[in-house]
Amino acid sequence: KAGVTQTPRYLIKTRGQQVTLSCSPISGHRSVSWYQQTPGQGLQFLFEYFSETQRNKGNFPGRFSGRQFSNSRSEMNVSTLELGDSALYLCASRETGGSSYEQYFGPGTRLTVT
């Protein structure tokens, strides 16, 4: 099976702009989670989607939003970008209803806000 893919891999945006990141999970995985990784804060959970519904949410402002489509692909949107949003954004998918439980991560999207 193909792994988790994320597009784009690198992105440079200006403060105030908005950005959309995309994640395609492993085939058959219905849970998709998003994380923000920065040197200072480490790996922080943004939200999880399962069957097109947000199931869990981390402690991020409303500028961060997401959605999941019927094919389990997910997008994450950040509006009104701030310098502090510069980070590696990781997507992870997980099989639900099975017995493996672990998350499989994509390579990430490196977002730089100038």
Partner 1 sequence: AQSVTQLDSQVPVFEEAPVELRCNYSSSVSVYLFWYVQYPNQGLQLLLKYLSGSTLVKGINGFEAEFNKSQTSFHLRKPSVHISDTAEYFCAVLYNNNDMRFGAGTRLTVKP
Amino acid at 39: P
CB-wise, 108 or 113, nearer to partner 1? 108
Part of the chain binding partner 1 (CB under 8 A), chosen from 11-19, 43-51, 61-69, 72-80 = 43-51
Query: CA 19 to CA 16: how far, in whole Å?
Result: 10
- Work out which of 42, 53, 62, 83 binds partner 1, going by CB under 8 A: 42
Residue selected from 8, 17, 43, 82 as contacting partner 1 according to rule CB under 8 A: 43
Choose which of 21, 25, 33, 78 interacts with partner 1 (CB under 8 A). 33
Catalog residues that contact partner 1 under the rule CB under 8 A: 4, 33, 35, 42-43, 45, 48, 55-56, 90, 92, 94, 99, 101-108, 110
